[in-house]
Structure 1
Amino acid sequence: MPFAVYALGLAVFAQGTSEFMLSGLVSDIAADLHVSIPSAALLTSGFAVGMVVGAPLMALFSRNWPRRRALLFFLCVFSAVHVVGALTSSYGVLLATRVVGALANAGFWAVALVTAVALVAPEARARATSVVVGGVTLACVAGVPAGAALGGHWGWRAAFWAVALVSVPAVLVIARTIPGTRSPSAPAPARDELRALTRPQLLLTLLTSALVQGATFCAFSYVEPLATRITGLGAAWVPVLLALFGLGSFVGVTVTGRFVDTRPVTLTAAGLVLLAAGWTGFALTAANPLATVVLVFVQGLLAFGTGTALISWVFRLAADAPTLSGSFATSAFNVGGALGPWFGGIAIGAGFGFRSPLWVSASLMVLALGAAAASWRSQRTADRPQDGVATV
């Protein structure tokens, strides 16, 4: 695996830390900037919206640039807005930095995924994808708890400074390891790429990815009240559960990256079925501490392993949209990340209790299974006239 791919993973680690770290800093930010806690929580929503909208827009904006220039531009903007965020005393400025940072993050993600795939042989593409996505899982394991610890000791601004500083070595390594020349062939016209991305089987795969992530973040966002009010674990167990989820996620992307290129359909289908069963089982056994501890790890493993497989599947289906496929995969991931917690909140607000997000996650996985089945059926139909054999 080229060292440059790991540099991309390091940058994604810094960006993933920024995306999720505010969950432990909201109260401090609200008190320091004299806003309500819901207003401070909008900083996370602003980031999520910027990621969803920004991925395709930034990919279109930079599609004719050499990939090294695009990666460095987005990463430097991302680092700079965190410096501004650490210095500002204005809530409006901080909110603006979150949106701009999300746009830069989305642009980096879109280019990084395409770059990682381009740097390796076809049989290693899923593994390269897993290294990049693994940066997010490492952020869950180490970055987010570290950001919370920094915020607790030195204030929330220290976490922003830390994210900016972690980005610096990634900038240096990317500048030295990513080729600075343009692609040997000019990119296809944007209109042709966009047309390729509207094929039914690809849209259904993107929908599947969004539903999987929606299920994941619906449950993940309410781990704390679930553990303390339903399972009966003390507050001290919450960081442990979050770390277990992140560790499971890291194992999932690592294992998937090594094997999914050889059996993409089998592993993806198995992951979807097991996720649906896992969220259902979690909902039924949430009051059991041992079951909760085990399933937090297992579901993290399955969710990010299956998510990585689906991103790899998007690249297979969108081979003729090389500069925009990564952006659509990124947007689908973040659509789920934005909508999942909202759906869970609706269930809780309706009076169904803190176990209800798990049932919502199970329901979303049933929909994901249906979308995946429709996608594979559409793929077989599209392939049959060409050679008479369904290829996968």
Structure 2
Amino acid sequence: MAVYILGLAIFAQGTSELMLAGLLTDIAADLGVSIPQAGLLISAFAIGMLLGAPILAVLTQRWSRRTALLAFLAIFAATHVIAALTSDYRVLFATRVVGAFVYAGFWSVGAATAIGLVSETARGRAMSIVAGGLTVATIIGLPAGTFIGQHLGWRGAFWAVALMSIAAMIGVLAKVPDTRSTTTPRIREELRAMANGPVLLLFGTTVLATAALLVTFGYLGALLTNTTGLATEWVPVVLAVYGAGSLLGIAVGGRTADAYPIRTLLVGISGVIATSILLALTAAHIAPVTILVFLLGAFGFGTNPVLNTRVFTLAPTATTLGAAGNVASFNIGITAGPWLGGLALAAGMNYPSLAWIAALLGAAALTLVACSQALPPKAPSRPPRAQAEIAH
């Protein structure tokens, strides 16, 4: 049950991460700023996510994990209350940075908590449940936030996230064990454990695979309306199809991640490459595009459980910074993908060209997977007895 509570908390916070896409016009009009200025609120969130995971993973290392999770959720809820009350764009910008900062910390500590609650053979499934919260936020949270914003104003959406975060706090307090390591994690030892070829290649794979997915998805709505010719009112439906594929992919990937990690990566990334190529070739036709959008979500999210958990196999002593490295890697990919897509569009390339870029990024990710397999095998180090023991 505790793992599902963590997934619920990610759903609440992930809804905030995603919902601004449908609220920018209203925010800009209400605060008297341009839409591009309002769009910088999304960049503010990305900044907070990139910085939060490693910094908070280190600062809270002496805390019990439940205490850290509750603190992150409390601050996250508070930033949304302040955001709902402010009429100052600068204050709203600051709340997005701080909210994302603690959200990244929650991801880091929450992932380590979920991994610690299950056996080694169930890590992938546990992470598929936790990360599935973000997938559900894509399917339900994003349109719900937009709906609330349309009917109650954008501030209503922020109040809703604050209430969901408080509900998640109650769940964490009730169901997540108050675990604490009997010894303080040694950051230098964790850094040494992570400073090896397989771990660095894993993080690089995460960056490239995530960027390959986001370079297309970041501009999917524009591709559907400008290239495919889909009516605007049908775009949310196709986005929901993407979300359904993502949910299926992460569920299947969670079941295969522990037993077949490399095979799961190869199938998922190869699927993204093939789907991207077909999408580039058929972007003007609604029927194949709809099917391919579903497959893009399925293959893209199918790799997430492996990418989230494999660091704990490759560097078992790096429980604190390993999770933080995962969060940072994902967010670099999330930032880099749309950025590369924007550069391509600014250079005069069309929307289908973004799918070709996705295929190239996917090929680069596959290359890193192959390189990791070509490295000489290394005997896995065991975490120190004292560090592995947990006091309740």
Fold in common (TM above 0.5): yes
Query: Which shifted more, 257-266 or 293-302?
Result: 257-266
Determine the structure 2 residue equivalent to 1:125.
123
Determine the structure 2 residue equivalent to 1:353.
350
Give me the whole-angstrom Cα distance separating, in 1, the residues matched to 2:129 and 2:35.
35
Determine the structure 1 residue equivalent to 2:141.
143
Give the secondary-structure state (helix, strand or coil) at the position aligned to 1:179: coil
Question: Does residue 39 of the first structure (1) align with residue 40 of the second (2)?
Answer: no
Determine the structure 2 residue equivalent to 1:325.
322
**1:80-91 equivalent positions in 2, closer than 5 A:** 80-91=78-89
Say which of 199, 205, 208 aligns to 1:208: 205
* 8 Å Cα contact 1:217-1:341 kept in structure 2: yes
Give me the whole-angstrom Cα distance separating, in 1, the residues matched to 2:362 and 2:311.
18
Gaps of 5+ in 2: 381-392
Give me the whole-angstrom Cα distance separating, in 2, the residues matched to 1:148 and 1:275.
28
Give me the whole-angstrom Cα distance separating, in 1, the residues matched to 2:271 and 2:298.
11
Give me the whole-angstrom Cα distance separating, in 2, the residues matched to 1:161 and 1:376.
48
Query: Which shifted more, 5-14 or 243-252?
Result: 243-252
Say which of 11, 14, 34 aligns to 1:13: 11
CA displacement 1:52-79 (0-9 Å, x = unmatched): 1111011011111100000000011011
Question: Does residue 170 of the first structure (1) align with residue 207 of the second (2)?
Answer: no
Determine the structure 2 residue equivalent to 1:374.
371
**1:275-314 equivalent positions in 2, closer than 5 A:** 275-314=272-311
- The residue type paired with residue 191 of structure 2 is L
Report how far residue 383 of structure 1 moved. 5.1
* 8 Å Cα contact 1:49-1:338 kept in structure 2: no
Question: Does residue 98 of the first structure (1) align with residue 104 of the second (2)?
Answer: no
Say which of 228, 234, 237 aligns to 1:240: 237
Say which of 206, 214, 218 aligns to 1:217: 214
Question: Does residue 28 of the first structure (1) align with residue 37 of the second (2)?
Answer: no
* 8 Å Cα contact 1:212-1:307 kept in structure 2: no
Report how far residue 151 of structure 1 moved. 0.8
Determine the structure 2 residue equivalent to 1:387.
none
Identity value in percent:
47
Gaps of 5+ in 1: 385-392
Question: Does residue 315 of the first structure (1) align with residue 312 of the second (2)?
Answer: yes
The change in CA–CA distance for 1:382 and 1:121 in structure 2 (over 3 A counts) is closer
* 8 Å Cα contact 1:279-1:362 kept in structure 2: yes
CA RMSD across the alignment: 1.3
- The residue type paired with residue 322 of structure 2 is S
Report how far residue 95 of structure 1 moved. 0.3
Give me the whole-angstrom Cα distance separating, in 1, the residues matched to 2:337 and 2:9.
25
Determine the structure 2 residue equivalent to 1:363.
360
Determine the structure 1 residue equivalent to 2:196.
199
- The residue type paired with residue 230 of structure 2 is L
CA displacement 1:164-220 (0-9 Å, x = unmatched): 11112210111111222412x314311111121221110111111111111111111
Report how far residue 227 of structure 1 moved. 0.5
Give me the whole-angstrom Cα distance separating, in 1, the residues matched to 2:69 and 2:378.
35
Give me the whole-angstrom Cα distance separating, in 2, the residues matched to 1:157 and 1:372.
44
* 8 Å Cα contact 1:213-1:307 kept in structure 2: no
- The residue type paired with residue 103 of structure 1 is F
Report how far residue 381 of structure 1 moved. 4.4
* 8 Å Cα contact 1:187-1:323 kept in structure 2: no
Determine the structure 1 residue equivalent to 2:57.
59
Query: Which shifted more, 145-154 or 266-275?
Result: 266-275
Give the secondary-structure state (helix, strand or coil) at the position aligned to 2:348: helix
Determine the structure 2 residue equivalent to 1:71.
69
CA displacement 1:79-135 (0-9 Å, x = unmatched): 110010011000000000000001100000000000001011111111000000000
Query: Which shifted more, 49-58 or 94-103?
Result: 49-58
- The residue type paired with residue 64 of structure 2 is P
Determine the structure 2 residue equivalent to 1:249.
246
Give me the whole-angstrom Cα distance separating, in 1, the residues matched to 2:184 and 2:205.
28
Give me the whole-angstrom Cα distance separating, in 2, the residues matched to 1:347 and 1:53.
27
Give me the whole-angstrom Cα distance separating, in 2, the residues matched to 1:272 and 1:340.
15
- The residue type paired with residue 305 of structure 1 is G
Give me the whole-angstrom Cα distance separating, in 2, the residues matched to 1:357 and 1:62.
40
* 8 Å Cα contact 2:83-2:92 kept in structure 1: yes
Say which of 93, 108, 124 aligns to 1:110: 108
Query: Which shifted more, 71-80 or 300-309?
Result: 300-309
Give me the whole-angstrom Cα distance separating, in 1, the residues matched to 2:378 and 2:258.
21
Determine the structure 1 residue equivalent to 2:257.
260
Query: Which shifted more, 161-170 or 140-149?
Result: 161-170
CA displacement 1:211-262 (0-9 Å, x = unmatched): 1111111111111110011111111121011111111111111111122211
Q: How many residues align?
A: 380
Say which of 328, 335, 341 aligns to 1:344: 341
The change in CA–CA distance for 1:179 and 1:383 in structure 2 (over 3 A counts) is closer
Give me the whole-angstrom Cα distance separating, in 1, the residues matched to 2:84 and 2:334.
25
- The residue type paired with residue 356 of structure 2 is W
Report how far residue 376 of structure 1 moved. 2.1
- The residue type paired with residue 342 of structure 2 is G
Q: Provide the TM-score with structure 1 as the length reference.
A: 0.95
Determine the structure 2 residue equivalent to 1:228.
225
Q: Provide the TM-score with structure 2 as the length reference.
A: 0.95
Give me the whole-angstrom Cα distance separating, in 1, the residues matched to 2:28 and 2:374.
49
Give me the whole-angstrom Cα distance separating, in 2, the residues matched to 1:285 and 1:106.
37
